[in-house]
Structure 1
Amino acid sequence: MTLTLCISPCPNDVYIFAGILLGKVTHLELTFETIFLDVQAANEAALTGQFDVIKISYAAYPALRETYDLLSSGGALGRGCGPLLLKNGAEAFDPNAEILAPGIQTTAHFLLDFWLKTTKSTKRFLPFDTLYEELRNVPGTQGVVIHEKRFTYETDGLTLIQDLGEHWENETGYAIPLGAILCRHALNLSDTIAALIRESLAWADTHRTEALALCRQHAQDLTDGVIEAHIGLYVNEYSQDLGKEGRAAVEFFFSQQV
């Protein structure tokens, strides 16, 4: 059986799935056809149910419960790794001005509202790389950045307004649920896929040179230092298994959504 797999081209996803993508971790009855999408594009694709296994934002999952199982491995959850609210310029944050965000269904958008304590602010949603270019090039712009941009924003002259993940952790005490791996209910393969993902990550950890080379192929505009920092931040013990603490963080996160 061939399953459709949708992940992002970000280093953490490629690293976790490197064993599967390179054919080093296999299953006698399963093969994978992989598509790479931006996080919000994947959130929207999941709503149509077009992929068998897919990486989405945790904030998007409540609308997908009837179609997909939430897997315990392969996702992004942690501490000190949340989205950042930045500004082009040294002026103070203007709550009445437009804020750029990387997708209406993203965890970044949810955490922005959690910090603002309102859902009524003026926002414009863009793919995260397009958002960053506008933020970097248009003075006065305010926006939420994710992924590797947290490592480059100071070099690009942007100002930190608020670490939205840090605010979540301080307010709740929980780790930050960012991205989750889902498997279609009807396949009845969720435990099998979760085990394959764990095996794939274990392969990457023991064949790091090969895994990093694959990451570079999908993130050609990033330096080796940024790629490794990205993996170090977003790939952790929760990537192998959420565990009791991770599950508690996820359930609390869902309880805060309205």
Structure 2
Amino acid sequence: MKVTLGFSPCPNDTFIFDALLHNKVDTEGLIFEPVIADVEELNQMAFRGALDVTKLSYHAFAHLLPEYALLHAGSALGNKVGPLLIAKSELSPQAITQARIAIPGKYTTANFLLALAYPEAAQKTELLFSEIEGAVLEGRFDAGLIIHENRFTYADKGLVKLADLGDFWERTTGMPIPLGGIVAKRSLPLPAQQRINRVLARSVAFALSYPEAPKAFVREHAQEMEEEVMYKHINLYVNEFTRDLGDTGRQAVAFLFDMAMQKGIIPQQELDIWIPLEQ
């Protein structure tokens, strides 16, 4: 069975998908056809129904719940892993609400968190996440919302942190922050969804057990990223929640969806968020 698989070139994604793409684990007859793109591009492809299985920001997934179900393996959740709001100099909370802010995508979880923390901030422009630091440095924007490896590089470029939106989420909810997850089309037969989840869990477990094994694949897609930054990225976003959400992870995801529905960000829905657990 062939399955289109969307994920980003970020180290945490290439790290966990390496084994299932390169026959290092049993794929149970599944043949994965990778589609590698920026997370917001993946979000848009999912809105078009173009991918069988894909990485999605949880914000985008909340809008796509009728079409996709969450796998229990592969998610990026954790503590102290949230997006950062940065600028060339300090801005007051009032100034932030009036600022021109570069964001990494309308449907990113980062933008969802920004809306929670600064609901009056309306001057937002979408940019590719890797271009945000430069745009702020050039003065095209007053502030930028950064994700991924940029959280390790902004200070070296002379930028300052205005807010840690992951910290905001954790102080507000007491839960780990759900950033992105791996989803499968609900139109796939349930046994196929569960098989994909098993294979993904196997791939994650292999990467965690043999962290040097995915190195070449990670490096291939990490562009000019320094190796130290590459591994900081992996260590930050790949953890036990990636192996399996568990009760704590599922509770955090459900809370995020409930909050989004309460605030009218997504329509009220009764669908199960994730695929059924195997007995």
TM-score, with structure 2 as normaliser: 0.88
Distance in 1 of aligned mates of 2:68 and 2:256: 18
Distance in 2 of aligned mates of 1:242 and 1:205: 15
Q: How do 1:8-157 and structure 2 match up within 5 A?
A: 8-92=8-92, 94=95, 95-118=97-120, 121-138=122-139, 141-157=142-158
Q: How do 1:168-247 and structure 2 match up within 5 A?
A: 168-188=169-189, 189-247=192-250
Deviations 1:81-108 (A, max 9, x none): 0000000234545221211111111100
Change (3 A) 1:235 1:215: same
Bigger Cα displacement from structure 2, 63-72 vs 248-257 = 63-72
Paired residues of 1:88 and 1:139 also in contact (CA < 8 A): no
Paired residues of 1:99 and 1:143 also in contact (CA < 8 A): yes
Deviations 1:10-38 (A, max 9, x none): 00011111101222124343101101111
Bigger Cα displacement from structure 2, 248-257 vs 200-209 = 200-209
1:58 deviates by 0.3
TM-score, with structure 1 as normaliser: 0.95
Distance in 2 of aligned mates of 1:199 and 1:31: 15
Bigger Cα displacement from structure 2, 179-188 vs 126-135 = 126-135
Alignment RMSD (CA, Å): 1.5
Bigger Cα displacement from structure 2, 51-60 vs 21-30 = 21-30
Paired residues of 2:84 and 2:163 also in contact (CA < 8 A): yes
Q: What SS class does the counterpart of residue 209 from structure 1 fall into?
A: coil
Distance in 1 of aligned mates of 2:16 and 2:245: 14
1:116 deviates by 0.8
Distance in 2 of aligned mates of 1:200 and 1:27: 9
Distance in 2 of aligned mates of 1:132 and 1:75: 26
Q: Does 1:4 align with 2:7?
A: no
1:198 deviates by 1.0
1:53 deviates by 0.5
Equivalent residue, structure 1, for 2:258: 255
Matched to 2:13, the amino acid is D
Structure 2 unaligned regions, length at least 5: 265-279
Give the length in aligned residue pairs: 257
Distance in 2 of aligned mates of 1:170 and 1:63: 25
> Identity over the aligned pairs, expressed in percent?
40
Matched to 1:109, the amino acid is N
Distance in 2 of aligned mates of 1:206 and 1:180: 21
Paired residues of 1:45 and 1:51 also in contact (CA < 8 A): yes
Distance in 2 of aligned mates of 1:26 and 1:52: 20
